[in-house]
Amino acid sequence: MTDLDTRMAPPGPSALRRAAPALLGYAAVRTLSLLALAVWSAARDKSAYTLLTARWDALWYARVAELGYGYEVRMPNGDVHSNLAFFPLLPWLERLGAALTPLSHADAGFAVSLLASLAAAWGIFAVADHVYGRRAGACAVLLWAVLPVGIVQSMAYSESLFTALAAWSLYAVLTGRWPAAGALAMLAGLTRPVGLAVVAAVWAAGIASFVRDRSTPGPHGSRHMTRALGMLLAPLGTAGYVLWVGHRTGKGPLGYVDVQAGWRNGFDGGYAFARFVADKFTSFPSALAGIGLIIGVGLVVWLYVVCVRQRQPLPLLVYGGIVTALALCASSYFGSKPRLLLPAFPLLLPLALALSRLRTRRSAGVLAGIAVASAVYGAFWLNGSGPP
């Protein structure tokens, strides 16, 4: 298990130089995806930029940034879709960008996502490099870039921003920077509900570190103080927004749960998802999709088991496990599940470690082939129903 208190990172400029090849590779993959989207969209007489900035959640975030909270839509079936379901950090940044630049709120959201995706890639590299070394770090970044739904990393959505905050919070935990870890976890908790996973990772690592210190003689006072500060900061973002929504709706601490219920979002242990998969086997063509879903879920579970067997550091296991469980066991729109798994980058570390052990030419060839397939799929996917 990685020592969370003694292994420290190199200084900033040195760390950036170390990560530069991985970040350049990430930028190349994202550029390829955007070019594929532009070509595919032009062929269908659609605007690639509109697909990236003005669909589904991107519209809701921009509306919050422009008009604030309080907007809701009553659906024909009686469901109420309230913009209180969307956490505030991305809209705040969109509003700031629109205030300081000539950009619209949607443009600012796109800019935030582009910058945040690079910050996320750097954070993923930092974590993987710290645990497994530089080659594994580069492979982890490129694997995250070539995920089939990787195009979401370039959309005016909150996934890139959240992943950046989560990755750097985890890195701060791994290197013993507890106040920074707590502050970043607090910001992650203002970005998405799954910010709870970052909070849990900080707390799990903090408790384990306290226990370890008790069995180690010597003065630990200052370290106890900074660790406690980080742990106290971590939940403030999630708790603050959830309590504010409860006050705003007049329904107390469970007000946010009611807001999510209006979107038919909840946690049912995977029952609704299992029924969705089972329904695919009622006819032959859809049965193939059902088989694909089972294989996909099996792969995700298998990767997490490998993470455990490879003894990943505790905060990575806690974070990756909670993100995966929330994505697979929520009763939300089932087409969103691949997107909801995007922040679960620790699941990619076993694959990154395996790739890093191949010859450079072979690993580069594998990643290049997957990058092309991912770019084509992302363009096809976003020109269809798109990620809700």
Per-residue pLDDT of the chain (388 residues; tens, 9 = 90+): 444 444 444 446 688 899 999 999 999 999 999 999 999 999 999 999 999 999 889 999 999 999 999 999 998 888 889 999 999 999 999 999 999 999 999 999 999 999 999 999 999 999 999 999 999 999 999 999 999 999 999 999 999 999 999 999 999 999 999 999 999 999 999 999 999 999 999 999 999 998 887 777 655 567 789 999 999 999 999 999 999 999 999 998 889 999 998 888 888 888 888 888 888 888 888 888 889 989 999 999 999 999 999 999 999 999 999 999 999 998 877 778 899 999 999 999 999 999 999 998 999 999 999 999 999 999 999 998 766 6
Burial of 74 (0-12, 13-18, 19+ CB in 10 A): exposed
pLDDT in the model for residue 28: 97
CB 181 within 8 A of CB 202: yes
Per-residue DSSP letters for 301-319? Answer: HHHHHHHHHTT--HHHHHH
**From CA 290, how far away is CA 297, in angstroms rounded?**
11
For helices 236-249 and 255-262, the axis angle rounded to 10 degrees is 80
Q: Tell me what pLDDT residue 1 has.
A: 41
CB burial of residue 377 (10 Å; 0-12, 13-18, 19+): middle
pLDDT given for residue 333 in this prediction: 75
User: What pLDDT, on a 0 to 100 scale, did the predictor assign at position 388?
Assistant: 65
How are beta strands 80-82 and 72-74 bridged, if at all?
A: antiparallel
- Which residue's structure tokens are 């003894």? 311
Q: Is the pTM of this model over 0.95?
A: no
Alpha helices in the chain (DSSP H): 12-43, 48-53, 57-67, 89-100, 105-132, 134-145, 159-174, 178-189, 195-214, 221-233, 236-249, 255-262, 271-279, 284-309, 314-329, 337-340, 349-356, 360-382
Count other Cβ atoms within 10 Å, centred on residue 171. Answer: 25
Helix, strand, or coil here: 61?
helix
Q: Residue 222's pLDDT is what?
A: 75
Distance CA 2, CA 13 (A): 24
> What is residue 185's predicted lDDT score, i.e. its pLDDT?
98
pLDDT at 4: 45
Residue found by looking up tokens 């971590």 in the block: 234
pLDDT at residue number 7: 46
Contacts 24+ apart (CB under 8 A), 260-266: 260/85, 260/193, 262/72, 262/79, 262/80, 262/81, 262/82, 262/85, 263/79, 263/81, 263/85, 263/332, 264/79, 264/331, 264/332, 264/333, 265/85, 265/330, 265/331, 265/332, 266/330, 266/331, 266/332
Q: What pLDDT score was predicted for residue 284?
A: 80
pLDDT at 335: 76
pLDDT at residue number 221: 64
Q: N- to C-terminal Cα distance for the chain? A: 38
Alpha-carbon distance of 157 to 154, in angstroms, equals 8
Residue 337, classed as helix, strand or coil, is helix
Taking the C-alpha atoms of residue 278 and residue 353, their distance in angstroms, rounded to an integer, is: 34
